[in-house]
C-alpha cells in the first residue's frame, strides 16, 4: 500500500433500503457525452456532404434548385476592357523659377489663386540690372560712334572690321542685360491656378538660366514634353513640383490620368483607345483616350507594369489633381451584336454550345456559335436571332431536409438553410433565408 493519508474504514457506508450500495452517479460530462458526440458526428457528416454537394460535378443534388425562365434574344454592345487605377493630374504644369539672381521685392500671388499666361507673379530688385542695361547701352553707343568715325576717315579694312566686331559684341551685351532685366519679373507661362509658392519678400534667389514649362504631366516612368518659357524652370512632371521650384502653376481646364498596366495586358492597349474614368468616391463616369503607352516597364514582386497616360475628354467638374480614379480602357467593342444571358448557354461533352429555344410552346435544343462575353451577356454569332425566345437557367439553393423545422441544415426555402438555430433539426427550422445562415431562434 502507499503512504498516502489514512482512510477511516469505520465510516458508515450509504446503503440502500435493500442493504446494497446505490449505483454510482455519472458525472455531468458522462451524462452529456453521448448526445454531444452524436451531434458532432452529425454536424461533420452534414458539412462533408455539403462540401461534396457544392464541389461535385454529379447530377443535381438534394437542396440545389434549378429552374428556368423565358428570355428574349436581344442586340446590344459588348466591350472588352482592361481595368486599372491611376492618379488624376493637370495636363499642363509650369514649374517657375527666376532666371536671374537678386533680392525678392514682391510676391503677387498665393496658392489657389487663378492667373493668366504672361501675368507677373513675383519680382526681384532691378537696381543692379538696370545699371547693367545702361552700361551696355553706353558701350554700344561708343562702339557705333567709333565705327562711324573710322569709316568716315577711310580707315583700313582691318580697322573697320575690328570696329564692327566691337559693335556686335556691345549689341550682344545689351541684349543679355535687357533679358536679365526682363527676367526680374517672374511671369506665368500658362493660364491656371497657383499650386504652390516658395518665395518671400527679402529672400535671396539664384538665377537658374533658361527654363521650360511642362506640358503633359508624366506618370511613373513616363516622359513629359516641354516648351520653352521665359522665367520658367524644370520639365513636365506630376504633382506640385520639386521643393526647389519657386512657384508652381497648374492648368485646371484639362486633366490626364497616369495609370499602369501589367505585362499580360499592355499588348492589348494602343494610342487612341477609349477609356471610362470614375474618380474615387464618385458615381459619375468621365471619359478619355489613351494618349501614350510607355515601352519601358518597372518590375515589382515579379510583376512588370507599364505607364499609360490617358487624356481626359473636355473639362468635367469634380476632378482634382492628385486624387485617384478607376479606369476601364476599352480595347475592343462590338456593336449591334446578337446576345443572350450567359446562363442560357449549355455545352455538350464535345464542347458544342447550345441554347434551348422556345418554339410554339416546345423546347428545342439548338446549337449556337458564341463570341465575346461581358457582364453576364454572351455574343451569339449564329444559331439564333434577335427576338427568339430561349430558356435561361436560374439556380438557387434550398436547405437540405426541405421541410419546416426538419433536416440537417434547416427548413424550407432559402440558400444554405432556414431561419432557426440548433432546434428542430440540425441548424434549425423555420422559413429559409438568403445565403447567410443565422443561428438562433430554435431550441
Handedness of CA 205, 211, 215, 219 (dihedral sign): negative
Sort strands 225-228 and 389-397 into parallel, antiparallel or unpaired. Answer: unpaired
Predicted local distance difference test score (pLDDT) of residue 14: 53
In angstroms, the CA 38 to CA 87 distance is 59
Is the distance from CB of 129 to CB of 174 less than 8 angstroms?
Answer: no
At residue 340, the pLDDT reads: 94
What integer pLDDT is reported at residue 26 of this predicted model? 53
Cβ atoms of 404 and 417 within 8 Å: the answer is: no
pLDDT band at residue 40 under the 50/70/90 scheme: low
Task: Concatenate the DSSP letters of all residues of 386-443 into one string.
Answer: TT-EEEEEEEEE--TT-STT-STT-SSSSTT--S--SSSSTT--SS--SSS----S--
Phi, psi at 339, each rounded to 5°: -145, 155
Residues 390, 357: contact at Cβ < 8 Å?
yes
pLDDT single digits (tens) 404-419: 444 434 444 433 434 4
pLDDT, tens digit, 9 for 90 and up, residues 379-405: 999 999 999 999 998 887 766 555 444
Mean pLDDT score of the chain, rounded to an integer? 78
Can you spell out the DSSP letters for 134-177?
HHHHHHHHHHHHHHHHHHHTT--HHHHHHHHHHHHHHHHHHHHH
What spatial distance separates the first Cα and last Cα of the chain, rounded to whole Å?
52
Give the model's pLDDT for residue 291.
95
Nearby residues of 97 by Cβ (< 8 Å), 6 or more positions away: 186, 205, 208, 211, 231, 232, 233, 234, 244, 245, 246, 247
Percent of the chain exceeding pLDDT 90 equals: 57
Between 79 and 8, name the one with better pLDDT: 79
Cell 430558356 sits at which residue? 391
State mean pLDDT over 211-224: 41
Contact assessment for residue 390 and residue 342, using Cβ atoms and an 8 Å cutoff: no
Alpha carbon of 94 to those of 88, 115, 117, 197, 292: distances in Å? 17, 12, 10, 12, 21
Q: Phi and psi of 153, rounded to 5°?
A: -90, 5
CA dihedral 410, 416, 420, 425 (to 10 degrees): 30
Structure confidence at residue 239 (pLDDT): 40
10 Å Cβ neighbour count for 328? 16
User: pLDDT tens for residues 161-177?
Assistant: 999 999 999 999 999 99
Average pLDDT on 126-146 reads: 94
**Cβ neighbours of residue 175 under 8 Å, at least 6 residues apart?**
none
In angstroms, what CA-CA distances link 129 with 32, 178, 184, 246? Answer: 101, 8, 8, 21
H helix or E strand, kind and range, residue 130? helix 127-152
Asked if residue 338 lies in contact with residue 380, where contact means CB atoms within 8 angstroms, the answer is yes
More confident residue, 426 or 368: 368
In contact, 267 and 297? CB cutoff 8 Å: no
Q: What is the pLDDT of residue 233?
A: 40
Instruction: Name which of 16-30, 213-227, 302-316 the model is least confident about.
Output: 213-227
Arithmetic mean of pLDDT, 6-24:
50
Amino acid at each position: 500500500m502507499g503512504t498516502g493519508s489514512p482512510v477511516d474504514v469505520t465510516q458508515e457506508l450509504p446503503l440502500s433500503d435493500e442493504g446494497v450500495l446505490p449505483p454510482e452517479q455519472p458525472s455531468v460530462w458522462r451524462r452529456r457525452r453521448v448526445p454531444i458526440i452524436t451531434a458532432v458526428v452529425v454536424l461533420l457528416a452534414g458539412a462533408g456532404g455539403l462540401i461534396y454537394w457544392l464541389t461535385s460535378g454529379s447530377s443535381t443534388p438534394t437542396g440545389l434548385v434549378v429552374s428556368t425562365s423565358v428570355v428574349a434574344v436581344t442586340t446590344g454592345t459588348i466591350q472588352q476592357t482592361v481595368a486599372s487605377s491611376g492618379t488624376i493630374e493637370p495636363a499642363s504644369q509650369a514649374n517657375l523659377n527666376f532666371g536671374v539672381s537678386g533680392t525678392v521685392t514682391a510676391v503677387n500671388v498665393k496658392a489657389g489663386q487663378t492667373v493668366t499666361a504672361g501675368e507677373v507673379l513675383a519680382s526681384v530688385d532691378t537696381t543692379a540690372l538696370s545699371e547693367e542695361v545702361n552700361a551696355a547701352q553706353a558701350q554700344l553707343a561708343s562702339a557705333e560712334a567709333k565705327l562711324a568715325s573710322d569709316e568716315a576717315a577711310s580707315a583700313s579694312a582691318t580697322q573697320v572690321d575690328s570696329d564692327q566686331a566691337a559693335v556686335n559684341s556691345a549689341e550682344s551685351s545689351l541684349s543679355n542685360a535687357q533679358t536679365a532685366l526682363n527676367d526680374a519679373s517672374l511671369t506665368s507661362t500658362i493660364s491656371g491656378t497657383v499650386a504652390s509658392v516658395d518665395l518671400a519678400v527679402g529672400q535671396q534667389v539664384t538665377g537658374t538660366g533658361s527654363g521650360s514649362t511642362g506640358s503633359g504631366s508624366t506618370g511613373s516612368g513616363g516622359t513629359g514634353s516641354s516648351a520653352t518659357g521665359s522665367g520658367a524652370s524644370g520639365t513636365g512632371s506630376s504633382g506640385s513640383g520639386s521643393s526647389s521650384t519657386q512657384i508652381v502653376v497648374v492648368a485646371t481646364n484639362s486633366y490626364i490620368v497616369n495609370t499602369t498596366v501589367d505585362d499580360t495586358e499592355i499588348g492589348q492597349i494602343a494610342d487612341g483607345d477609349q477609356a471610362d474614368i470614375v474618380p474615387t468616391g464618385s458615381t459619375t463616369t468621365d471619359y478619355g483616350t489613351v494618349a501614350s503607352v510607355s515601352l519601358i516597364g518597372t518590375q515589382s514582386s515579379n510583376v512588370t507594369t507599364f505607364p499609360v497616360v490617358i487624356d481626359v475628354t473636355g473639362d468635367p467638374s469634380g476632378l482634382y489633381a492628385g486624387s485617384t480614379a478607376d479606369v476601364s480602357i476599352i480595347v475592343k467593342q462590338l456593336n449591334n451584336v446578337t446576345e443572350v444571358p450567359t446562363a442560357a448557354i449549355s455545352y455538350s461533352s464535345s464542347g458544342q454550345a447550345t441554347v434551348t429555344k422556345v418554339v410554339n410552346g416546345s423546347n428545342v435544343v439548338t446549337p449556337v456559335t458564341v463570341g465575346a462575353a461581358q457582364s453576364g451577356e454572351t455574343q451569339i454569332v449564329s444559331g439564333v436571332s434577335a427576338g427568339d425566345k430561349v430558356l435561361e437557367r436560374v439556380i438557387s439553393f434550398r436547405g437540405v431536409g426541405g421541410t419546416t423545422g426538419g433536416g440537417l441544415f434547416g427548413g424550407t426555402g432559402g440558400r444554405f438553410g432556414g431561419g432557426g438555430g440548433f432546434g428542430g433539426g440540425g441548424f434549425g427550422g423555420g422559413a429559409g433565408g438568403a445565403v447567410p445562415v443565422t443561428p438562433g431562434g430554435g431550441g
